Structure 1
Amino acid sequence: MDDITRSPRYRELDPAELDAEQRRIFEEIGRPRAGAVPAPFHLYVESPELAQSAQAVGAFCRYRTGLPPRLSELAILTTAAYWGAAYEFGVHAREARKAGVPEPEIAALAEGRRPDFDDEDAALVHDFASAIYQHKDVPDALFAEAVTRFGRRTVIELTGLLGYYSMLAIALRVFRVPPPA
C-alpha cells in the first residue's frame, strides 16, 4: 500500500458550524464531561445517528459492565495497543492509573509486551483480549476460564467492550487523531 500518506484527516468541530441535530448530539455528549467532547465524537457527530448510538454503547461499555474499572481499563489499553491508537491509549492510560492499573503494566502494554501480572483476573482479561486480536478467536480453555471466573454475561460484556473500543481505535487510526496533549 504505497499510496498511504500521513496527511492529517482529523479536525475538531466548531459547534457553531454544526446543524441543529449535530449540535444537539455534540452538546449531549459533552454534558457529562463538563462540555469536553472526546476526539472520536468530533468524527462521529458528523453522522448524528452514529454518534448517538456509539455514545450509548460506550457509556454502557465504560461504566456498566460486570468488570471493575481496573479490568475495563486494562482491556481498553490492550485494545488501543493492538490497534496502535495513540489517542485512545493516552486517554485511557490516565484512566487506568486512576482505576489502579499498575504503572509497569501500562508501560508494558505501551511497549507492545505482555505485562507481568500480579493479578490473575488482569492476566485473564489481557489474555482473552489478546487472543481475539492475535488469533481472531478465543481458545476453548481460555473461554471456559473466563466464563468460570467472570460469568457468561460479563464475558459477553467484555467482548462488547473489546468491539466498541476497536471501533473507536479504527476511527482514530483512519482519521489520524493525534495523541492527547
Structure 2
Amino acid sequence: MHSATVWLSSLTLAAAGGWLAATVFSAPATSKEPRFPQLTMEQLSDLQKPLGEQIMKVSSVGIGGPYNPMIRSPVLGQRLYDLFYYLRWQTSVPTRLNEFAILIIGRQWRSQVEWFAHAPLAAKAGLPPDVIAELKAGNRPSKMADDEAVVYDFVTELTTTKKVSDETFARAKKIFNDQQIVDLTAVAGNYVMVAMILAMAEETVPPGKEEPFKVGEK
C-alpha cells in the first residue's frame, strides 16, 4: 500500500466487516509500549480464531482498528462485528448520510482513525468536499442539502444535549421513515463506542500517514 489509490481501495475492502481494518500495524498515540500489542492469527486462542477468520476474509491488512482490542473479548467482539456489519452494509440509511453521521461522531471525538478511514468513504459516497472540510474545521457546514442538514442537526443535538427536540424530530420524519431514524441513531451511538475503543487503545493512523487533527486545533 504505497499510494493513496491503493490505500483507499484497501479501506473500501476492509469496510465489509463493519469497520475499516486498514489500521493494522498502527502505532500507539504515544512513544510508550502499545496498550494492546497487535495480534496475529497465530496468536489467537481457539475462542478468538473464528472471529479472526471472519475479519481476515474482509480485510486485506489483517486484524486492525478496534478489532485488535475487541478480539480480546471474543464473544463481545463477535456480536460487535455483526452489529458493525449491519450498520455499514445493511442499514436503511443511504451511504452518503450514514458516512456523514460517522464523520460527525469522529469530529466530536477528534478520532484520528475514524476520520482518516471514513472521510474518503464519505466523499466517494457523494458527500460534498466543502461539507467535509467545514465539518473537519469544527463548524456546522454552511451548504448542506436538506437531508444532510437533518442528519447533522439530529446527530449533533442527540449527542450533545442528550435529547432530540420536537422540531428536529419532525424534520427527520419528513425525510426518513421510522427504521431509518432508528438506524441513524444506532450508527451514531455505535461510532461513539468505536471512538471510545480507539481512544482507550490509543490507536492512530497507519505509519507514514498524516493525522487529520493537529495538536492545538479546536
2:191 matched residue in structure 1: 165
For these two proteins, the number of residue pairs brought into alignment is 177
For 2:148 and 2:62, locate their aligned partners in 1 and report how far apart those are by CA, in whole Å: 30
2:45 matched residue in structure 1: 19
Q: Counterpart of 1:171 in 2: which secondary structure?
A: helix
What residue identity is the alignment partner of 1:97? A
Report the CA distance between 1:30 and its aligned residue: 2.4
Report the CA distance between 1:38 and its aligned residue: 3.7
For 2:160 and 2:197, locate their aligned partners in 1 and report how far apart those are by CA, in whole Å: 20
TM-score, normalising length: structure 1: 0.90
Distance 1:85 1:17, change over 3 A: same
2:104 matched residue in structure 1: 78
Do structure 1's residue 94 and structure 2's residue 123 form an aligned pair? no
8 Å CA contact 2:39, 2:63 repeated in 1: no
Distance 1:105 1:11, change over 3 A: farther
Distance 1:109 1:25, change over 3 A: same
Among candidates 173, 186, 204, match of residue 178 of structure 1: 204
8 Å CA contact 2:102, 2:188 repeated in 1: yes
Among candidates 83, 89, 94, match of residue 63 of structure 1: 89
Report the CA distance between 1:115 and its aligned residue: 1.0
What residue identity is the alignment partner of 1:67? V
What residue identity is the alignment partner of 2:160? Q
Do structure 1's residue 146 and structure 2's residue 172 form an aligned pair? yes
Task: Give the unaligned 5+ runs of structure 2.
Answer: 1-28, 210-218
Q: Counterpart of 1:170 in 2: which secondary structure?
A: helix
Q: Counterpart of 1:39 in 2: which secondary structure?
A: coil
Among candidates 98, 121, 127, match of residue 147 of structure 2: 121
Task: Give the unaligned 5+ runs of structure 1.
Answer: none
For 1:131 and 1:54, locate their aligned partners in 2 and report how far apart those are by CA, in whole Å: 25
8 Å CA contact 1:12, 1:39 repeated in 2: no
For 1:147 and 1:29, locate their aligned partners in 2 and report how far apart those are by CA, in whole Å: 36
Report the CA distance between 1:97 and its aligned residue: 1.4
Report the CA distance between 1:162 and its aligned residue: 0.7
What residue identity is the alignment partner of 2:156? S
Higher-helix-fraction structure:
1
8 Å CA contact 2:40, 2:63 repeated in 1: no
Kindly, what percent of the aligned residue pairs are identical?
Answer: 32
For 1:179 and 1:110, locate their aligned partners in 2 and report how far apart those are by CA, in whole Å: 16
For 1:110 and 1:10, locate their aligned partners in 2 and report how far apart those are by CA, in whole Å: 28
